[in-house]
Structure 1
Amino acid sequence: MIMTKQIEVEIQDRLATVTFNQPAAMNAMDGEMMRELADVVDELRGNSSVHVVLFRGAGGAFSAGGNVKAMLDPRGPMKMEDIMVDLSRLALSMYSMPQITIASVHGAAAGLGCSIAIACDVVIAEESSKIAMNFIGIGLLPDGGGHFFLKERVGTARAKQLIWSGEVLDGKRAAQIGLIDQVVADGEAWNAVQKHAQKILHSPTASMAASKQILHAAGIEELKRVVELESEGQAAMRRTSDHKEGIQAFVEKRRPSFIGQ
């Protein structure tokens, strides 16, 4: 087992399980946790003995996304430039992983948590999951390759609507529009993911990985451009009045008052 401060990795019999391990914060990620996750995925990507990688969250959620309170921390506010380097690295590593990746979603998979989940080859979510690309609520835009992965799954037109509205989808609705691959009863996601992983491990995984590489080949350059644009756009959005109002309203648990600036 590999343990970083906030990420747990267990490897057994060609199967790796990556667990986001900040349950008290609904696995919301600060800059350190994002960097740790990018490092873990990089390491797994180069491990030829691992054929399937599972992603899950400890406690009551997959991941609530970026840690909004950390953005306001006067002792060490999150540095967007450093964060975007790690998130770009994470998105590219996940898309180019030779392993088959599966997300086990329960509770919230929001913002960055949503980007990570839908970056996986297979997404299995529980009926009451809350899946949302809801960066708009704090005046930001999707990162971690969120634009790319959302467009791959649901197309450009619906991707725009989901980003602009920040709509929260339950598992059933997410499955209906193709955002996730399978919906299961509450409490059953992890069991379903483990069964699916075993099915894959009893398949010719080399053939599956080769097909994945072919299908993803053309997307690599597009994803590189997308994460570059996300980095530029996120840095600009962090300087807006709307973003400052959005995170202040989030902390104060009130409706934000945006002015388009």
Structure 2
Amino acid sequence: MFETIELTKRGRIAQLLLNRPDSMNAMNGKMMKELADCFESLQQDSTVQVLIIRGEGRAFSAGGDIKEMMDPENPMDIDVVMKDVSRLAKALYTLPQITVAVIHGASAGLAFSMALACDYVIAEENSKLAMNFIGIGLVPDGGGHFFMKERVGVAKAKQIIWAGQKLKAHDALSKGLIEEVTAEGRGLEHAEIYAAVAIASPLKAKLATKHILHQTKVEELVHVLEMEAAAQSAMRKSADHIEGIQAFVEKRKPEFKGH
């Protein structure tokens, strides 16, 4: 059914695997569309009550696929992509399941926004978490502003987004961005334990609480996604973004001019 992701169900627990390991699960246009489609299909699936999201290979996900952004023959259509990114974020935030992100290796950019949207985030201790859009002159998307603000508040969200630094798991935990740190290679095991405990709890009540808390915020999330899409489209045309991308490809320090 999907080419870039894999959804498996066992009883009331499902696992969603980001499955482009040769690209560190970088999110190309197809993956973004498939994630949005998958989350929207899960909206209607009352048989699943817990969803674990993880990455195949060396990383959770390196974020948006910069190679596809740079492809001169088949460039990424940012406006089409942003529609799928917005669908993805809204569907994930409003899922009628408890969502658990399991991070190992890198979780950067859009992938970090997606992890922050989950109800419970587990990171292995050597993982690197980065809201690093600023490094290529872009703004967070996928609801990154909204999910960051929900977790740490406006003042801290600004500082983390502006810094764009790579955080180790314990740093992310101390900042309130994630819920749990595990030893290397133990993230999925801990997620499965968390899911089993959730299944054995009054899950209907927990999901009702999630619905109440999230539904009051959906309108705000939709507004943020609209503003992110407009800002990202504008930033893609900026001199700083072009310089940031060129510096990334040439493996040098960018020289930003603020325009």
TM-score (norm 2): 0.98
Q: Which runs of 5+ in 1 are unaligned?
A: none
Please give the per-residue CA displacement for 1:153-208, whole angstroms capped at 9, x wherever unaligned.
11111110111110111111111111000011111111111110111111121111
Q: CA deviation at 1:32?
A: 1.1
Q: 2:157 aligns with which of 137, 145, 159?
A: 159
Q: Is the 8 A contact 1:135 1:142 kept in 2?
A: yes
5 Å matches for 1:25-174? 25-174=23-172
Q: CA deviation at 1:247?
A: 1.1
Aligned match of 1:182: 180
What code does the residue aligned with 1:41 have?
Answer: F
Aligned length: 259
CA distance in 1, matches of 2:216, 2:43: 19
CA distance in 1, matches of 2:250, 2:20: 22
Structure 1 runs of 4+ off > 4 angstroms? none
What code does the residue aligned with 1:115 have?
Answer: S
Q: CA deviation at 1:46?
A: 1.1
CA distance in 1, matches of 2:215, 2:35: 23
CA distance in 2, matches of 1:9, 1:255: 39
Q: 2:192 aligns with which of 171, 194, 201?
A: 194
What code does the residue aligned with 1:124 have?
Answer: I
Q: CA deviation at 1:217?
A: 1.8
Aligned match of 1:219: 217
Q: Which runs of 5+ in 2 are unaligned?
A: none
Q: CA deviation at 1:218?
A: 1.4
Q: Secondary structure at the match of 2:25?
A: coil
Please give the per-residue CA displacement for 1:7-42, whole angstroms capped at 9, x wherever unaligned.
011011011100000111111111111001110111
Q: CA deviation at 1:77?
A: 0.7
Q: CA deviation at 1:252?
A: 1.5
CA distance in 2, matches of 1:221, 1:214: 13
